[in-house]
């Protein structure tokens, strides 16, 4: 049986094509045209272009943030020297005698974050070890979502809790505590970020291959030794990433600290005093009616820029650690 | 350098003709300059030890290697006188005419009917889908077992049934050539036997190129056998000749089980 | 039953009992740490419920805010929240899923793809208040949308888009490559494979991720403060350009007042908010389980 000679597309002669299988409903077979169908190809390309635009738009967001912050920040530093911003120990932009030292705000943010970390990092990591190494699967299935709920509770709720429960509790022990204080905010933000540490760390611990554990057990190691000397070191990059991410969240936290910690810029190491964080200042400045173009208006952006740079740096470092971790175990 | 016995296409144009096909994954050359002719309405088996490039070569025939980011193909694959790798050729069109069945059955998470109907649907088929589905399921010897439950999920079928479903799915687009990549390797012996019987029936309508690591299977069902080793075509000829009277020493060593 | 002395000598054996004790202490410590989180959650919920439950009533849901705590209600805030979250969903969902599809199915292996990917991961970690500032400068001022529902929704969309994109990408990645192979092998185009195979399979995961992102949007306050949501609104929005308030913001303004009465109604507002969140998350979980059963 000779196959009919099939012509190249574009030849004007219609060939006689014998159907391969004479079944009903067979799609009419063109003379062999394997070239790209124009209309369909156009549709495909259009879709691909539209999808690309959506993806690329995400870069526009970053550009937008940077441009918006930069414009006003540059205007700010035209009037206030960078050295004053970074070294002055008073932040009083709205008083008669103006001071633009960002240190009190940064100190406030860092103090709250440090306190939160002091609570969340150990608790989170030990919880992660418990869930990953000790807990039975059924217990894990219950506990893990419970901890996740902590992350889902809105920050205003934490602010309320801090003001109406935690602060009175602290004042029972330390009566000299201000109503608005850093310690209360620290505790509450710490609770809020426990799941960040525990979930990410637990994922990291569970990604460590079981063969490593088996090997250690086979040498007569106890569970404590296996967990702390084999599994945790193996998962270290992932755990460190979770720490950094959690602290970054604590620094960026707004409402809970605004409600609980106060609005008094205060360069202090005493957690029982009122302070103001960078984020709380931004809220305060925008709640008041500051006219556009004034120096006070620009302080908002300068502080926001500082906040943005700090959290960005921390997130980038955290991503780097995560990438290192994934390299080892994927 | 390959030893090629006489291939008899009965005077017809070959279904497929590979000329010096090479495949590179990054810098590694997985297939080196393979040339062979696939006669129409025959079963050609590609055999060889693991990693010899037989699956990679198979995937050249329907441009599936395009989907692998690092892969690069050189050489020609002629189908109806056109080189499949020419600039103007659309891989989607190629795959509508050259179908593929994979090693592990991979039905879609849909009903049996929708699995078989998917191919015609995306190809713009305007006729009666039920007839196409029934015809395809009959051709793959599955109709009697599923005709009363076409709406059931494909995952309710056994492994062997799922693979026959995948075959029906491939046949539903009415290809000319069906490529099979170790289609029975994940199935039990009885299911394997049914697939082999099916292949024998199918070659009446289609041309089949099958990759298999099971030499006895190649000997049972194929008309022509190509032996590949380390990416090279070592010997190619009628199955009888390859298994009972190989001309290359390496071929003989492999088919007598001395290695691989 | 005591085992014979180990081959390493009596020092090692004495060490053993200490090891066992330390092991048990450590296990208890880990369990205790886990309890800290759970107990904190319980204390918080109980505290809020005790404070707010007495104040819960139908009146709460149907009254507007007021100078008098006894008469205050969440009607405006509730309506505002519903408007904002719905609008945010409509804006963010298609854009985010499209971006995720592009990144997983279309994007070539190129440094530009990695750059977009890294950028999205970084955006997910930017504090929400920075998004508020972006929204203020871009939507309220530059585009002239002023303090409106539209500004708020656009701002929140920017905020949650990276989150949805990442969740959608994970869901799409979870679709087995064999399914795609089979579809391509049948002569389907890329979009056909995505539309008929990948998306349907990934949809439960995408929806779950979206609902979780939206529940985060529901709880956001700071960005909306920046964009002009106000604390005292006596009407429900009826159009995109209306002013608005949202539930968390209303709670904040109540908490900021010194009178005890306002703290109680704040707690009640919190209960309403938590109730909404619980519902949303329950829907997400039900959706996920139903789709999983279907497969």
Q: Say whether pLDDT at A20 is over 70.
A: no
Q: Say whether pLDDT at A15 is over 70.
A: no
User: What is the mean predicted confidence (pLDDT) over A78-85?
Assistant: 87
Residue A110 has a pLDDT of: 94
CATH class held by domain C60-294: mainly alpha
Q: In what order do the strands lie in the sheet with B232-238?
A: B3-4, B232-238, B224-229, B43-47, B207-211, B177-181, B98-101
Residues of C in contact with A286 (CB under 8 A): 132, 136, 225-226
- pTM, two decimal places: 0.87
Which other chains touch chain C, taking contact as 3+ CB pairs less than 8 Å apart? A, B
Distance CA C271, CA C254 (A): 14
Task: Quote the longest CA-to-CA distance of chain B.
Answer: 54
User: What is the mean predicted confidence (pLDDT) over A213-223?
Assistant: 87
Comparing CB atoms, the residue among C22, C40, C98 nearest residue A51 is: C98
| Of A8-22, A115-129, B150-164, C174-188, minimum mean pLDDT range | A8-22
Residue A295 has a pLDDT of: 83
For residue B36, count CB atoms less than 10 angstroms from its CB and return exposed for 0-12, middle for 13-18, buried for 19 or more.
buried
Contact check, Cβ <8 Å, A198/C37: yes
For B234, the enclosing helix (H) or strand (E) is strand B232-238
DSSP collapsed to 3 states, A76-129: HHHHCCHHHHHHCCCEECCCCCCEECCHHHHHHHHHHHHHHHHHHHHHHHHHHH
Q: Which of helix, strand or coil describes residue C214?
A: helix
Residue A327 has a pLDDT of: 77
Q: What per-residue string of b and e applies to C128-152 under the rule 16 or more CB within 10 Å gives b?
A: bbbbbbbbbbbbbeeeebebbbbbb
**B positions 53-72 inside 8 Å of A (CB):** none
Distance CA C210, CA C100 (A): 12
Complex prediction ipTM:
0.90
Residues of B in contact with A32 (CB under 8 A): 80, 82, 97
Cα-Cα-Cα-Cα torsion B170, B174, B177, B183, nearest 10 degrees, comes to 20
End-to-end CA separation in angstroms for chain C: 53
Residue C64 has a pLDDT of: 81
User: What is the mean predicted confidence (pLDDT) over A3-26?
Assistant: 33
pLDDT profile of chain C (295 residues), mean per 10? 65 73 89 93 94 84 79 86 94 96 92 91 93 91 87 95 95 94 94 95 91 94 88 78 89 87 90 93 83 63
**C positions 238-267 inside 8 Å of A (CB):** 248, 251-252, 255-256, 263, 266-267
Residue A11 has a pLDDT of: 33
Half-sphere exposure (Cβ direction) of C294: Cα atoms closer than 13 Å: 15
| Ranges A22-26, A166-170, C59-63, most confident | A166-170
Q: Which residue did the predictor score with more confidence, C209 or A21? A: C209
B128, B167, B161: which is closest to B146 by C-alpha? B161
A89 φ/ψ angles, rounded to the nearest 5 degrees: -95, 10
Residue A205 has a pLDDT of: 92
Q: Mutual orientation of helices C260-294 and C75-101 as an angle, nearest 10°? A: 40
Comparing CB atoms, the residue among C32, C129, C158 nearest residue A254 is: C129
Disruptive mutation site among A2, A3, A41 for chain B (greatest number of B CBs within 10 Å): A3
Disruptive mutation site among B14, B93, B122 for chain A (greatest number of A CBs within 10 Å): B93
Token output for A245: 């991410």
Distance CA C80, CA A99 (A): 39
The DSSP code for C18 is H
Residue A23 has a pLDDT of: 41
What totals of helices (H) and strands (E) does chain C contain, helices first?
Answer: 12, 0
The model's pLDDT over A51-76, given as tens digits with 9 standing for 90+, comes to 999 999 989 999 999 999 999 899 89
Residues of B in contact with C113 (CB under 8 A): none
**Contact present, B103 and B182 (Cβ < 8 Å):** yes
The model's pLDDT over B39-65, given as tens digits with 9 standing for 90+, comes to 999 999 999 998 889 999 999 999 999
Q: Which residue did the predictor score with more confidence, A98 or C249? A: C249
Residue B30 has a pLDDT of: 93
Q: Say whether pLDDT at A33 is over 70.
A: no
Could you tell me the CA-to-CA distances from C17 to A149, A223, A263, C10 in Å, in that order?
A: 39, 14, 54, 12
Q: Which residues partner with A92 through β-bridges?
A: A99
Low-confidence residues in chain B, pLDDT < 70: 260
Q: Say whether pLDDT at A18 is over 80.
A: no
A55, A53, A52, A45: which is closest to C96 by C-alpha? A55
Contact check, Cβ <8 Å, A47/C191: yes
| Of A247-251, A286-290, B94-98, minimum mean pLDDT range | A286-290
Q: For residue A7, name the pLDDT band (cuts at 50, 70, 90).
A: very low
């Amino acid at each position: 049986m000779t196959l009919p000679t099939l012509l190249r597309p574009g030849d004007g002669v219609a060939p006689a094509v014998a159907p391969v299988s004479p079944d009903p409903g067979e799609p009419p077979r063109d003379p062999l045209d394997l070239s790209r169908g124009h209309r369909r190809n156009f549709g495909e390309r259009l879709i691909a272009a539209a999808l690309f635009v959506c993806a690329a738009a995400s870069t526009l967001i970053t550009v937008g943030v940077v441009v918006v912050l930069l414009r006003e920040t540059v205007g700010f530093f035209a009037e206030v020297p960078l050295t004053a911003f970074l070294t002055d120990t008073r932040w009083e932009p709205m008083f008669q005698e103006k001071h633009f030292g960002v240190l009190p705000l940064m100190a406030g943010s860092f103090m709250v974050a440090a306190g939160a970390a002091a609570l969340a990092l150990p608790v989170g990591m030990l919880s992660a070890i418990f869930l990953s190494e000790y807990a039975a699967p059924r217990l894990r299935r219950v506990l893990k979502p419970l901890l996740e709920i902590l992350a889902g509770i809105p920050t205003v709720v934490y602010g309320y809790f801090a003001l109406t429960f935690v602060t009175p509790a602290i004042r029972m022990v330390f009566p000299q505590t201000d109503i608005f204080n850093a310690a209360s905010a620290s505790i509450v933000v710490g609770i809020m970020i426990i799941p960040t540490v525990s979930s990410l760390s637990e994922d990291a611990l569970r990604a460590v291959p079981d063969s490593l554990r088996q090997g250690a057990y086979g040498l007569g190691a106890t569970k404590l030794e296996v967990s702390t000397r084999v599994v945790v070191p193996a998962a270290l990059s992932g755990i460190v990433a979770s720490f950094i991410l959690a602290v970054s969240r604590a620094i960026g936290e707004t409402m809970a600290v605004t409600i609980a910690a106060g609005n008094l810029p205060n360069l202090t190491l005493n957690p029982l005093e009122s302070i103001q964080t960078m984020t709380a200042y931004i809220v305060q400045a925008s709640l008041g009616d500051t006219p556009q173009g004034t120096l006070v208006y620009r302080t908002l952006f300068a502080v926001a820029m500082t906040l943005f740079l700090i959290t960005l740096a921390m997130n980038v470092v955290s991503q780097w650690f995560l990438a290192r971790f994934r390299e080892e175990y994927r | 350098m390959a030893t090629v016995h006489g291939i008899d296409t009965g005077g017809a144009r070959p279904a497929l003709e590979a000329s010096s096909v090479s495949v590179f994954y990054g810098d590694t050359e997985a297939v080196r300059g393979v040339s062979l002719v696939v006669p129409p309405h025959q079963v050609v088996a590609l055999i060889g030890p693991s990693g010899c490039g037989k699956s990679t070569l198979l995937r050249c025939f329907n441009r599936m290697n395009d989907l692998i980011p690092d892969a690069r193909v050189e050489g020609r694959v002629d189908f109806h006188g056109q080189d499949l790798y020419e600039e103007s050729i659309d891989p989607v069109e190629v795959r509508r005419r050259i179908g593929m069945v994979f090693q592990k059955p991979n039905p879609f998470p849909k009903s049996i009917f929708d699995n078989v109907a998917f191919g015609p649907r995306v190809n713009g088929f305007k006729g009666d889908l039920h007839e196409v589905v029934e015809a395809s399921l009959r051709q793959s010897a599955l109709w009697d077992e599923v005709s009363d439950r076409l709406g059931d999920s494909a995952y309710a079928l056994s492994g062997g049934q799922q693979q026959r479903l995948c075959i029906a799915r491939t046949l539903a687009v009415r290809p000319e050539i069906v490529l099979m990549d170790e289609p029975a390797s994940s199935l039990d012996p009885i299911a394997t036997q049914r697939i082999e019987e099916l292949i024998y029936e199918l070659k009446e309508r289609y041309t089949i190129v099958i990759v298999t690591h099971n030499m006895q299977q190649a000997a049972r069902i194929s008309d022509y056998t190509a032996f590949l080793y380390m990416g090279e075509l070592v010997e190619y000829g009628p199955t009888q000749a390859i298994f009972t009277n190989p001309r290359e020493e390496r071929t003989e060593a492999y088919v007598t089980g001395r290695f691989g | 039953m005591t085992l014979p002395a180990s081959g390493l000598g009596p020092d090692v054996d004495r060490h053993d009992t200490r090891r066992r004790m330390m092991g048990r202490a450590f296990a208890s410590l880990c369990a205790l740490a886990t309890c800290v989180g759970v107990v904190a959650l319980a204390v918080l919920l109980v505290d809020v419920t005790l404070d707010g439950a007495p104040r819960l009533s139908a009146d709460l849901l149907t009254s507007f805010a007021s100078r008098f705590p006894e008469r205050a209600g969440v009607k405006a805030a509730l309506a505002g929240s519903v408007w904002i979250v719905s609008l945010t969903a409509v804006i963010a969902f298609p854009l985010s899923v499209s971006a995720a599809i592009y990144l997983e199915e279309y994007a070539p292996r190129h440094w530009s793809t990695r750059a977009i990917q890294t950028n999205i991961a970084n955006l997910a970690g930017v504090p929400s208040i920075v998004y508020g500032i972006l929204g203020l400068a871009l939507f309220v001022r530059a585009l002239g949308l002023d303090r409106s529902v539209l500004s708020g929704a656009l701002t929140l969309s920017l905020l949650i888009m990276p989150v949805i994109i990442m969740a959608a990408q994970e869901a799409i990645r979870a679709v087995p490559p064999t399914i795609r192979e089979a579809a391509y092998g049948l002569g389907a185009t890329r979009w056909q494979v995505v539309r008929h195979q990948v998306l349907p399979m990934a949809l439960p995961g995408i929806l779950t991720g979206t609902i979780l992102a939206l529940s985060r949007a529901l709880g956001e306050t700071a960005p909306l403060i920046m964009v002009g949501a106000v604390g005292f609104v006596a009407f429900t929005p009826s159009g995109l350009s209306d002013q608005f308030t949202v539930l968390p913001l209303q709670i904040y303004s109540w908490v900021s007042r010194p009178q005890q009465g306002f703290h109680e109604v704040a707690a009640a507002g919190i209960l309403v908010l938590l109730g909404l969140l619980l519902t949303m998350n329950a829907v997400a979980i039900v959706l996920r389980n139903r789709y999983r059963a279907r497969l």
